[in-house]
C-alpha cells in the first residue's frame, strides 16, 4: 500500500467482514457440498462410489453416515453391481452350456451361439454405458435413480 492510499480506498470490500457475513461464509464451508467423513466433495464421492462397483460402494456406504447423497449413490452402486454380476453370470453360463451342447455342432447350432455371443457383447456394452452414465450424473450432483434399483437404494438410505 502506498502512502497516498488510505485504508478505506481501493478494493477492500472482500477484506471487510462483519459478523453476519463471516457466519454465512463459515456455514457455506461446513454445510456446502463437502463430505465430513472422507473430506471429498459429495459429487466426487458419489461418482467414486461407482468406480469399483461393490467394493467402492461398500466403502462409501459405511464411511459416510450423514450424507444421504453419497449413501444413495453408494447403495445404488452396490445393488447395480450385484445385479449386473448375477445376470452376467447366468447369461455366461447359458452361453457356455450352448457351446458344449451336442446341438452346437449340428446344423445351425453355430449361428445360435454366434447370435447369443453378440447379444452378450451388447449387454456388456450396455452395462458399461449405464455405469459411466451413473458416474456422470453423480459427478454433476444429480440424484439419478435407476428404475427398480434406485427405488430400493432410496428406501434403504
How many separate domains does the chain show?
1
Q: What is the mean pLDDT of residues 91-119?
A: 78
Q: What is the mean pLDDT of residues 69-93?
A: 95
Q: Against a cut of 0.75, is the pTM above it?
A: no
Q: Is residue 25 part of a domain?
A: no
What range does the domain containing 78 cover? 36-156
With CA atoms as reference, report the closest residue to 88 among 37, 123, 63. 123
With CA atoms as reference, report the closest residue to 69 among 140, 119, 122. 140
Q: Is residue 117 part of a domain?
A: yes
Q: Is residue 110 part of a domain?
A: yes
Q: Is residue 100 part of a domain?
A: yes
Q: Is residue 21 part of a domain?
A: no
With CA atoms as reference, report the closest residue to 64 among 40, 96, 89. 40
CB 70 within 8 A of CB 43: no
Q: What is the pLDDT of residues 10-69, one digit of tens each?
A: 444 444 444 454 444 444 343 446 666 778 899 999 999 999 999 999 999 999 888 999
Higher pLDDT, 123 or 113: 123
CB 49 within 8 A of CB 157: no
pLDDT tops 60 at residue 1: no
Task: Indicate the SS3 state at residue 41.
Answer: strand
Q: Is residue 85 part of a domain?
A: yes
- Distance in angstroms (rounded) separating the CA atoms of residues 138 and 135: 5
Amino acid at each position: 500500500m502506498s502512502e497516498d492510499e488510505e485504508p478505506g480506498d481501493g478494493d477492500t470490500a472482500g477484506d471487510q467482514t462483519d459478523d453476519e457475513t463471516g457466519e454465512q461464509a463459515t456455514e457455506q464451508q461446513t454445510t456446502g457440498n463437502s463430505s465430513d467423513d472422507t473430506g471429498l466433495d459429495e459429487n466426487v464421492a458419489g461418482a467414486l462410489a461407482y468406480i469399483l462397483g461393490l467394493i467402492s460402494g461398500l466403502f462409501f456406504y459405511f464411511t459416510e453416515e450423514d450424507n444421504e447423497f453419497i449413501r444413495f449413490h453408494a447403495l445404488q452402486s452396490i445393488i447395480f453391481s450385484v445385479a449386473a454380476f448375477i445376470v452376467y453370470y447366468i447369461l455366461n453360463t447359458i452361453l457356455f452350456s450352448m457351446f458344449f451342447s451336442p446341438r452346437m455342432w449340428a446344423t445351425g447350432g453355430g449361428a445360435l451361439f454366434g447370435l447369443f455371443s453378440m447379444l452378450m457383447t451388447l449387454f456388456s456394452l450396455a452395462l458399461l454405458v449405464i455405469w459411466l452414465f451413473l458416474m456422470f450424473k453423480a459427478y454433476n450432483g444429480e440424484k439419478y435413480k435407476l428404475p427398480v434399483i434406485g427405488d430400493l437404494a432410496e428406501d434403504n438410505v
